[in-house]
Amino acid sequence: MTVQRYVFVIAGFFIMCSLALGVESSPIFVSSWALAFTAFVGLNLFQYGFTGFCPMAIILKKLGVPESNGTCAA
């Protein structure tokens, strides 16, 4: 997998977990404040769309994840 795909997978995972922890009807509800993390991840994805800056991508690159898989397939 590439950096971009990891970013989407990690962001989706964080959003789903924070929703499960923040929605009162969830069986693993902790606090409504967990929804703030959902907002943070969403805001980060929003600004990444405009600026191309993503802290998670920088971390993944430093861990050695390839930026692209080298194929022309979309």
Q: What are the tens digits of pLDDT across the range 12-27? A: 999 999 999 999 999 9
**What pTM was computed for the model?**
0.83
Residue 20 tokens, joined: 């499960």
What letter represents residue 53's amino acid? F
C-alpha 3/C-alpha 11 separation (Å) is 12
Positive or negative torsion for Cα 47, 58, 13, 18 = negative
pLDDT digits (tens, 9 = 90+) for 28-40: 999 999 999 999 9
